[in-house]
């Protein structure tokens, strides 16, 4: 490419990168008095429960999360006990106090008839509570919600924490605590509806009727999908034969989770139910139903929402800026190394790194379940380090080829050819590790793993394509291409 074409292309690329850098990373005032600000994409990206703070010019807190305490049947908080007791008449107070036993220094109260066996907590209650906690943990892990956690407190209550970025936290706390068997009823109204799944006296469970229950979003419409076995298809087809204005009720325990209007016979192997669902709510409902399908036939205790609190960032409001500073130091060190060792070729690495950071910022902002947190920032940093290593590897291969006497153009081609599969394999393997880990990981690792996967993809593309292209369009401006890259020929000693 000639100097003129190179100059035009380089100028356009520089302008595009500069504009995207401002949009992605730089907040600035939009009016003369400085009251209204344009907040960068990085600023408005969803923060998880680990990070938080205030947008420039805004008063609403961004980030952090919510924590709800869930109580099983027969357990109430000390505050509720005191409030109920004081609200009772003098005649009823003694009777009310006799129903409960103080536990954990009055933090909670246990209903004697439901929870206790004599003076000790009954083994059946312990087993049922333990089962409910395991189901609750499985649900949260399957939802892949960043920074979500489930912890048992005071032995018989559960604290569930969800990030503020999870937009349906309020509904989620209620839905997550619903326990019991998955059943399906059919009728003209809820009161008269009869259970059709599982059929009475059949000895079957929900697993015998449904292969799986999942969620899907396509073209902006979200569905809860029931994949049925032959038994499930037959049961629903038989019940809805001749139906006009009736309903299918999908229950978890005693609570209906989905009500489906039926105007004709349903006879299909997969049932797609939409409605007012969005991506998050469809995944939540599908997860509750599917876990009830596999474990709801076992004994469990429904968990009701008690106290709810708003949490600020787990690592403090300054943690976000500390991470940015750490990332900036690492990137600056990388640039210093490249400019010192490869002279003006460091500009090619700079452009490549900026493209990578812009791509990752846009992904974290645009992909619903990705949030800005410690895990995602570390994944971006790891990708940046891998990109720097890959660029250095390509430069060193080209340096060795040039040192043997080849022209610069041929040395670059030959160098990239020899290191291509080394770089390609490195990024493919790390990307695969990231995506595989995402699908099997615990909640704490899910965002890090997925961000690592896309980070390795973009790092590979940037190293093998963007970096080489930037080198290609910058090279025509150098009179001495060797000095431009700080490459040297091997010295050959002459024989006397």
As a whole number of angstroms, the distance between CA 396 and CA 342 comes to 10
pLDDT at 496: 43
Q: Is the dihedral of CA 113, 117, 123, 126 positive or negative?
A: positive
Phi, psi of 186 (to 5 degrees): -135, 135
Confidence band (pLDDT; 50, 70, 90) for 447? confident
**What residues are paired with 261 via a beta bridge?**
247
DSSP 8-state assignment for residue 150: E
As a whole number of angstroms, the distance between CA 372 and CA 366 comes to 11
Per residue in 206-235, pLDDT tens? 999 999 999 999 888 999 999 999 999 999
| Of 328, 303, 304, 190, residue with least CA distance to 257 | 190
Q: Is the pLDDT of residue 356 over 50?
A: yes
Structural domains in the chain, sorted by start = 3-45+315-485 (1.20.1640.10), 180-295 (3.30.1360.200)
Q: Is the pLDDT of residue 426 over 50?
A: yes
Q: 305-338 as b/e, with b when 16 or more CB fall inside 10 Å? A: ebeeeebebbbebebbeebeeebeeebeebbeeb
Chain-centroid distance, C-alpha 492 = 58
Residue 180, number of CB atoms within 10 A of its CB: 20
Cα distances (angstroms) measured from residue 174 to each of 136, 255, 306: 11, 11, 10
Tell me if 181 sits within 8 A of 209, measured CB to CB: no
As a whole number of angstroms, the distance between CA 479 and CA 476 comes to 8
DSSP 8-state assignment for residue 265: -
Tell me if 287 sits within 8 A of 143, measured CB to CB: yes
Average pLDDT, the chain: 88
Mean pLDDT of 398-420: 90
Residue that the structure tokens 């076995």 belong to = 229
| Of 307, 48, 296, 300, residue with least CA distance to 160 | 307
Chain-centroid distance, C-alpha 451 = 9
**What residues are paired with 222 via a beta bridge?**
217
Tell me if 142 sits within 8 A of 287, measured CB to CB: yes
pLDDT at 55: 76
As a whole number of angstroms, the distance between CA 353 and CA 225 comes to 42
**Structure tokens of 11?**
């100028």
As a whole number of angstroms, the distance between CA 64 and CA 310 comes to 8
Q: Return the ∠ at Cα 359 (arms to 354 and 365), rounded to 5°.
A: 125
Q: Is the pLDDT of residue 495 over 70?
A: no
Mean pLDDT of 410-428: 92
pLDDT at 388: 94
Per residue in 274-323, pLDDT tens? 878 898 999 999 999 999 998 755 667 899 999 889 888 888 878 888 88
Q: Is the dihedral of CA 434, 435, 436, 441 positive or negative?
A: positive
Residue 196, number of CB atoms within 10 A of its CB: 21
Residue 241, number of CB atoms within 10 A of its CB: 11
**Structure tokens of 401?**
């080829």
Q: 252-289 as b/e, with b when 16 or more CB fall inside 10 Å? A: bbeeebbebebeeebeeeebebeeebebbbbbbbbbbb
Tell me if 390 sits within 8 A of 334, measured CB to CB: no
Mean pLDDT of 12-25: 93
Strand, coil or helix: 183 = strand
């Amino acid at each position: 490419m000639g100097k003129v074409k190179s100059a035009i292309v380089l100028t356009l690329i520089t302008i595009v990168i500069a504009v995207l850098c401002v949009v992605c990373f730089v907040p600035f005032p939009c009016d003369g008095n400085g009251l209204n600000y344009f907040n960068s994409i990085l600023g408005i990206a969803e923060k998880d429960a680990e990070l938080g703070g205030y947008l420039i010019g805004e008063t609403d807190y961004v980030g952090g999360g919510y924590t709800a305490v869930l109580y099983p049947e027969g357990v109430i908080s000390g505050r509720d006990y005191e409030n109920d007791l004081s609200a009772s008449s003098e005649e009823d107070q003694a009777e009310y106090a006799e129903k409960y036993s103080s536990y954990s220094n009055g933090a909670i109260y246990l209903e004697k008839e439901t929870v206790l066996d004599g003076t000790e907590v009954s083994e059946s209650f312990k087993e049922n509570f333990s089962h409910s906690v395991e189901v609750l943990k499985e649900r949260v892990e399957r939802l892949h919600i960043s920074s979500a956690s489930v912890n048992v407190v005071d032995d018989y209550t559960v604290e569930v924490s969800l990030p503020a970025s999870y937009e349906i936290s309020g509904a989620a706390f209620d839905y997550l605590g619903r326990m019991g068997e998955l059943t399906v009823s059919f009728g003209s109204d809820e009161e008269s509806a009869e259970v059709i799944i599982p059929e009475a006296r059949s000895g079957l469970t929900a697993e015998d009727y449904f292969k799986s229950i999942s969620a899907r979003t396509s073209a902006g419409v979200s569905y809860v999908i029931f994949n049925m076995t032959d038994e499930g298809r037959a049961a629903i087809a038989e019940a809805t034969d001749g139906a006009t204005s009736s309903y299918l009720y999908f229950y978890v325990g005693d609570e209906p989770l989905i009500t489906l209007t039926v105007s004709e016979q349903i006879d299909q192997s997969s049932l797609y139910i939409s409605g007012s669902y969005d991506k998050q709510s469809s995944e939540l409902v599908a997860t509750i139903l599917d876990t009830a399908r596999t474990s709801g036939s076992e004994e469990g205790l429904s968990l009701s929402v008690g106290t709810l609190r708003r949490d600020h960032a787990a690592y403090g409001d300054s943690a976000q800026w500390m991470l940015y500073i750490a990332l900036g130091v690492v990137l600056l060190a990388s640039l210093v190394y490249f400019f010192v060792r490869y002279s003006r070729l460091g500009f090619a690495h700079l452009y490549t790194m900026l493209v990578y950071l812009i791509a990752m910022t846009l992904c974290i902002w645009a992909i619903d379940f990705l949030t800005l947190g410690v895990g995602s920032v570390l994944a971006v940093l790891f990708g940046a380090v891998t990109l720097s290593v890959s660029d250095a590897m390509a430069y060193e291969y080209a340096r060795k080829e040039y040192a043997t006497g080849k022209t610069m153009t041929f040395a670059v081609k030959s160098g990239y050819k020899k290191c291509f599969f080394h770089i390609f394999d490195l990024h493919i393997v790390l990307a695969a590790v990231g995506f595989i880990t995402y699908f099997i990981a615990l909640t704490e690792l899910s965002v890090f793993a997925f961000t690592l996967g896309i980070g390795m993809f973009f790092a590979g593309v940037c190293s093998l394509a963007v970096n080489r292209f930037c080198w290609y369009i910058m090279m025509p401006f150098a009179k001495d291409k060797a000095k431009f890259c700080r490459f040297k020929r091997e010295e050959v000693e002459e024989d006397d």
